[in-house]
Structure 1
Amino acid sequence: MNIKRVMIVGTMIVAMSFGGTTWGKPAAAAAAAPVAKWSTSTNVADKDELLEALNQSSDEDLYEALYDGKSLHDIAVENGGNIDSVIHLQVAQLTQQLDARLASGSITLEQYTAQKAELSELVTQSVLTSFD
């Protein structure tokens, strides 16, 4: 198995998940899905926010750029996008997911606090990572 392809597809799934998988669903629905599902029909507004922040015209353009090994930062810089908006959007959506997990009791307050403290740094590192 080609590790570059695995990493690219994994990054692509993370990036596209902000456009409509489990982020906007209740924690029970998220827990019931054993794997991330690719969806373009739900949470279209979130997907558009990501594409807008990256200044991308379509999912296909984003997919191709990620497949070519570019980071989200590279994509934003090349297209005149706003990388701070990408980071803010991803942190906000991950925070919502953590909030839902805490509310449902699937994580403890200590786990919530620790994970939330790491969000900004993890998202920033992820956004800057390319797979050349």
Structure 2
Amino acid sequence: MINSKRMFMIAALSAAISLGGLMPDRASASPLPVKAKEAGLQSSVPSEAEETLFVRVLGADSAEEVKDALYNGSSLADIASSNSADIDQLIQLQVAQLALQLQERLQAGSISQAQFEAQLAELHEIVASSVFAQYA
């Protein structure tokens, strides 16, 4: 069983990754530690292609549409459903993005193998619940 504090933290991280890519007009700091950059790892900040994929998987017309819907109290599942999009595909995309970020953290030495495995095992459940959460 996942404790509520850990679930909230990972759900917030999942939402931040998704929403962070939707606001390219805002300044942001790279979440990648220097050791990871020196190791030649990619940044986990969503690229324009990842943002486009995220919007497309939601069935939305634009990142602005998604941002407005979230701001107005819709969950990601609500947005996907209203656009006849596949919620499972959305969950798979977010799990893949977070798994990549965990892999980067493991390779950078910021988490142990045991932490990596524990967090990876929880990803699907946490992302699935965050997709249905309303953050407004």
TM-score by length of 1: 0.72
Aligned residues: 113
- 1:17 aligns to 2:15 (yes or no): no
Where does structure 1 lack aligned partners over 5 or more consecutive residues? 1-9, 33-38
Superposition pairs of residues 28-67 of structure 1, within 5 angstroms: 28=33, 43-67=47-71
The answer (yes or no) to whether the contact 1:26–1:100 under 8 Å persists in 2 is: no
TM-score by length of 2: 0.71
Larger RCO, structure (CA 8 Å, separation 6 or more):
2
- 1:128 aligns to 2:114 (yes or no): no
Deviations 1:29-86 (A, max 9, x none): 5989xxxxxx8xx611100111011111111100110011111001000011121111
Alpha carbons of structure 1 residues 48 and 106: separation in structure 2 relative to 1, 3 Å: same
Aligned residue identity for 1:120? H
- 1:112 aligns to 2:112 (yes or no): no
Deviations 1:74-109 (A, max 9, x none): 100001112111101100010000001111110001
Alpha carbons of structure 1 residues 14 and 100: separation in structure 2 relative to 1, 3 Å: closer
Task: Percent identity, please.
Answer: 37
Aligned residue identity for 1:17? G
Counterpart secondary structure, 2:93: helix
Where does structure 2 lack aligned partners over 5 or more consecutive residues? 1-11, 38-44
Pick from 74, 78, 101 the counterpart of residue 74 of structure 1: 78
RMSD: 3.0
